[in-house]
Structure 1
Amino acid sequence: MNTASYRVQRLPASCARGSCLAVYLVAVAAFTAVLPGARAFTTTVNNINAPIPDGDLNGYQNSVTVSGLSGPVAHTSVMLDILGGFNGDYYAYLYHNGVSAILLNRVGLSGSNPAGYSDPGFGPNASANPFTLDDLAAVDVHRYQTLGASVNGAGQVTGLWQPDGRAIDPTSPGSVFDTAARSKLLGIFNGMDPNGVWTLYVVDASAGFQGTLVSWGLTVVPEPGVGSLGLLAFGMALCRLRKQR
């Protein structure tokens, strides 16, 4: 557990090539500069190396405890390292104080693709930047194959993505995913007390391929004051504009 002055995680992005990533990091640096007294919780749980039960909806869970933060949650992001398996099988969510955010919900599953994407996991890129889910990212992880995703040497998907957010049963038919509302993004925790237990649940919803939860990380930023998070949003908006050009 790490409760220290706010420090920047090296966050990758699907659009984070060259100047785009630089713009985002400058925005984050400005964010920290105007918050000399702000505190955040950042942790990475390494070397879990836990098999995710194949085709078992009970899944696997791992928890961290946040303490010592003042002010309600303003922003949350999650890093994942899942090795192997079949990405279209994975259902993952973050749970805190009776509320859950859907991180992954059988990515790629749709009416035209009843199995979802077959890539073997999610992980760091060649620069060791973690696979990260953040509401401020440019695009939805559920459609990553159509949105320029990159993979590392192990075949894991890399980058910075919006969480899935589709609050539907992971065993639903593919056609249900086509129209499902993304009502459970990480912003669902905003305004809540950040202190207490945060639990990651990872499920392999379909038998056939088994993966491993190697590690995961959590960053929780409490409300720092008016305007500060706007700098982060501004940086991400510039990234989007540069990607569109």
Structure 2
Amino acid sequence: MGIRLCEGTFSNPELITINDAAAATPYPSTITVSGLAGTILKVTATVHGLTHTYLADLHLLLVGPNGQNVVLMDDVGNGNPGVVNATYTFDDDSPNVMTNTIPTLDNYKPSNNGLLDNLPAGAPQQPPPYGTALSVFNGTDPNGTWSLYVSDDAGADVGTINNGWSLHIITDCG
């Protein structure tokens, strides 16, 4: 007998407004996962419709219902022109890593090109390092509230995540 897999996609399609040099609105944006049996084998996270003029200002931190966390994106895409309505999926199995150039593909490993600055109040405040791979969630219960903390750390640039975000979770359900 092999492992029986269960999976589900959960989303929050609401607009996330990326405020200038501050926490986004809402902060955090949340998704409640329920009814998924077993423990996590794999998680991917997707932001839908990211628009921002200076990606290096952005911090995206995903926190699971048990407190584990991973930096999805930080200090990437240094410089202008930024991105308009980009969709990025973060997947540990992707061969791509975001660098200091504007990301043009749609699938990347979680990418942090610098030391994550302190996040605005409300986010987990811990001394770095935060998690660097989505596998930090493996073996945990997927059910509960997942939180995406988005913030901008410098002035003169704002943006949005126009169509929210989603999670795809695969579990070992017996």
| 1:21-60 pair list within 5 angstroms | 38-46=5-13, 48-56=14-22, 58-59=23-24, 60=27
User: Any gaps of 5 or more consecutive residues in structure 1?
Assistant: 1-33, 109-115, 125-129, 151-157, 172-179, 226-245
Shift of residue 72 of structure 1? 1.0
Equivalent position SS for 1:187: helix
Q: Which has the larger radius of gyration?
A: 1
| 1:126-205 pair list within 5 angstroms | 130-141=87-98, 143=99, 145=101, 149-150=103-104, 158-164=105-111, 168-170=115-117, 183-205=131-153
Deviations 1:10-62 (A, max 9, x none): xxxxxxxxxxxxxxxxxxxxxxxx98x6321202322x233212101x33321
8 Å CA contact retained: 1:52, 1:213: yes
Shift of residue 182 of structure 1? 8.4
TM-score (norm 1): 0.57
CA distance in 2 between partners of 1:122 and 1:218 (Å): 21
Larger RCO of the pair (alpha carbons < 8 Å, separation 6+): 2
How many residues are paired up?
Answer: 159
- Summarize the Cα distance change of 1:69–1:132 in structure 2 as closer, same or farther, 3 Å threshold: same
Shift of residue 106 of structure 1? 1.5
CA distance in 2 between partners of 1:87 and 1:164 (Å): 12
User: Any gaps of 5 or more consecutive residues in structure 2?
Assistant: 119-127
| Structure 1 or 2: more strand by fraction | 2
8 Å CA contact retained: 1:131, 1:160: yes
8 Å CA contact retained: 1:40, 1:222: yes
Q: Percent identity?
A: 25
Equivalent position SS for 1:136: coil
| Structure 1 or 2: more helix by fraction | 1
| Equivalent in the alignment of 1:66 | 33
CA distance in 1 between partners of 2:81 and 2:32 (Å): 31
8 Å CA contact retained: 2:34, 2:143: yes
Q: What is the CA RMSD across the aligned residues, in angstroms?
A: 2.8
Is 1:103 the counterpart of 2:72 in the alignment? yes
8 Å CA contact retained: 1:166, 1:183: no
TM-score (norm 2): 0.78
Equivalent position SS for 1:188: helix
| 1:198-213 pair list within 5 angstroms | 198-213=146-161
Question: What code does the residue aligned with 1:69 have?
Answer: L
8 Å CA contact retained: 2:40, 2:139: yes
| Equivalent in the alignment of 1:242 | none
- Summarize the Cα distance change of 1:182–1:199 in structure 2 as closer, same or farther, 3 Å threshold: closer
Structure 1: 4+ residue segments shifted above 6 A:
none
| Equivalent in the alignment of 2:171 | 222
